């Protein structure tokens, strides 16, 4: 059974299972949205349809009335459907809308109140009271921002009429109920496995190939090499420049290193005072490596960091070729 009143996020076992789902546009351009959200109401227009006629529930009579008022057959039928559904869909219907860059959802009491007017102002012509309140979060309390939703659903905002069914109902209910998507769960598992394999491939690299990998990662991130790879400089295996920001970086690449080695290179970096950033890259550290506290210019990349970057920059096949 649907809960009659939700003022707090429901527990995970209280997933909503509506009898119907409808998207409703709260006024042309969303002009009634603020009123509806503040009052916890649903509003509909169609001022040409009298309240008493709509209450009678005769959709064909509504269509004929609209046709007599001068609307074309298809438009009259569409408007009659919208008015009919607004009056007939019970409290088991889930209503959704888009406002304030979020998806909002609610259930509503079946009673319809006549507000009057022509709908050109901040409210519609007729309304239904929401059960509880409009919500813009899933059942775990996470915000349903439009930026985080599929266009398959948000394209409803471009629907030219006022009220329609939701084709992507399964996706919508998964998001509201905070239920995992099986395909995304599989994708996350595949990515986890890919990162684990990538980390192993990095650990198997010859030291020269490892240095080349680091060089490729930086070049694909917008850094330009300002020294020969490996080089003859005592403190840096690689010197980089970021032309867009004017930064320079000292890069030290180690297959294995301890915290003491890292600390030594931080001291060299400070003493040189030539570079704005220090990158200490090590795929197999002896224990945990920690950059100095409150020193954002010092970054430590270990095997897991390198695996993330290698996958993101399309270097998995390169790693396979070097490790085969």
Cα–Cα distance for residue pair 322/154, rounded to 1 Å = 44
Q: Where are the domains of the chain?
A: 20-179, 183-323
Give exposure, 11-23, as e/b (b: 16+ Cβ within 10 Å).
Answer: eeeeebebeebbb
Cα–Cα distance for residue pair 280/236, rounded to 1 Å = 10
Write the CA distances from 104 to 19, 34, 137, integer angstroms: 18, 12, 8
Torsion, Cα 278 284 290 292, to 10 degrees, reads -20
Choices 3.40.50.1170, 3.40.50.300, 1.20.140.10, 3.40.1350.10: CATH for 183-323: 3.40.1350.10
pLDDT in tens, 20-55: 999 999 999 899 999 999 999 999 999 999 999 999
pLDDT in tens, 120-175: 999 999 999 999 999 999 999 999 999 999 999 999 999 888 999 999 999 999 99
Nearest one of 266, 265, 315 to 295, comparing CA atoms = 266
Answer yes or no: CATH 3.30.70 is held by domain 20-179.
no
Percent of the chain scored above 70 by pLDDT?
94
Q: What are the two backbone dihedrals, phi and then psi, of residue 306, each rounded to the nearest 5 degrees?
A: -65, -40
pLDDT in tens, 49-102: 999 999 999 999 999 999 999 999 899 999 999 999 999 999 999 999 999 999
Q: 241, 227 in Cβ contact below 8 A?
A: no
Rounded to two decimals, what is the model's pTM? Answer: 0.70
Please compute the mean of the pLDDT values over residues 213-231 and round it to a whole number: 84
């Amino acid at each position: 059974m649907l809960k009659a009143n939700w003022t707090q996020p429901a527990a995970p076992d209280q997933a909503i299972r509506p009898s119907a789902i409808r998207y409703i546009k709260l006024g042309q351009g969303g002009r009634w949205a603020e009123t509806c959200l503040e009052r916890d109401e649903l509003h509909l227009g169609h001022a040409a349809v009298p309240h008493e006629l709509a209450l009678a529930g005769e959709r064909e009579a509504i269509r004929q009335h609209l046709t007599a008022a001068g609307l074309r057959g298809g438009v009259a039928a569409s408007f009659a459907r919208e008015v009919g559904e607004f009056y007939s869909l019970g409290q088991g219907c889930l209503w959704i809308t888009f406002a304030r860059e979020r998806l909002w959802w609610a259930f509503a009491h079946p009673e319809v109140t006549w507000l009057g007017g022509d709908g050109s102002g901040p409210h519609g012509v007729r309304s239904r009271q929401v059960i509880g309140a409009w919500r813009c979060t899933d059942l775990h309390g996470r915000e349903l921002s439009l930026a985080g939703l599929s266009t398959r659903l948000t394209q409803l905002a471009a629907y030219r009429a006022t009220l329609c069914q939701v084709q992507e109902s399964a996706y919508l209910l998964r998001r509201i109920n905070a239920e995992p998507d099986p395909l995304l769960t599989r994708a996350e598992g595949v990515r986890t496995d890919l990162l684990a394999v990538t980390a192993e491939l990095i650990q198997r690299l010859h030291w020269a190939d490892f240095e080349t990998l680091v060089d490729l990662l930086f070049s694909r991130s917008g850094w330009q090499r300002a020294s020969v790879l490996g080089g003859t400089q005592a403190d840096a295996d690689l010197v980089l420049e970021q032309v867009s920001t004017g930064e320079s970086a000292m890069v030290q690449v180690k297959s294995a290193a301890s915290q003491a080695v890292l600390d030594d290179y931080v001291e060299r970096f400070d003493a040189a005072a030539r570079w704005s950033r220090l990158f200490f890259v090590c795929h197999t550290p002896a224990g945990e490596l920690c950059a100095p506290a409150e020193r954002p210019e010092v970054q430590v990349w270990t095997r897991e960091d390198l695996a993330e970057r290698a996958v993101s920059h399309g270097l998995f096949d390169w790693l396979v070729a070097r490790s085969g």
